[in-house]
Amino acid sequence: MKKLSYLFAVIAIASLCGCTTVMSTTNFKTMTIGEDRKQPVAHVHVRISGFYLFGFIPIMCGSRAGDGKTSFFQDNCNVETVVNLACKEARGEGGNNILNLVTDFTEVNFLLWSNRYISASASAIQ
């Protein structure tokens, strides 16, 4: 019985994770984007997850600081944060502009808590 309670404790702690993930690729195989035939420099994807008590009190969320970072008691699961991180990553890959910016928001509710996931993807061009 004690081992079972430890297992439930580990599962509960694992469900409390909030993290920021930033990914990008520069491998386009000489493809162009749009009618202007712009050459892409990178495609970036940012995802922030967070854990909320009662669905609105942020406990643990991904951080504005970047990839692999976590923050406590800050509501960073929002469009502004993921778009800013996507633009920052696009500039870091050598892009001057972004095209096809897409955001997505998902919330999964449990009894007293919810997990939120928000992501943004964009193509960086010069």
The enclosing H or E element of 2 equals helix 2-15
Range of the domain at 105: 17-125
| pTM score of the predicted model | 0.79
Residue 35: inside a domain:
yes
Residue-wise pLDDT tens digits, 91-125: 998 888 888 899 999 999 888 888 899 999 998 98
The full 3-state SS of 67-111, as one line of letters, equals: CCCEEECCCCCCHHHHHHHHHHHHHHCCCCEEEEEEEEEEEEECC
Our count of domains for the chain comes to 1
pLDDT at 117: 92
Q: Give the CATH number of the domain where residue 66 resides.
A: 3.30.110
Q: Residue 96's Cα: distance from chain center in Å?
A: 21
- Asked whether residue 82 is domain-assigned, the answer is yes
Structural domain contains residue 64: yes
Q: Which secondary-structure segment (H or E) carries 25?
A: strand 20-25
Rounded distance, CA 29 to CA 21, Å? Answer: 25
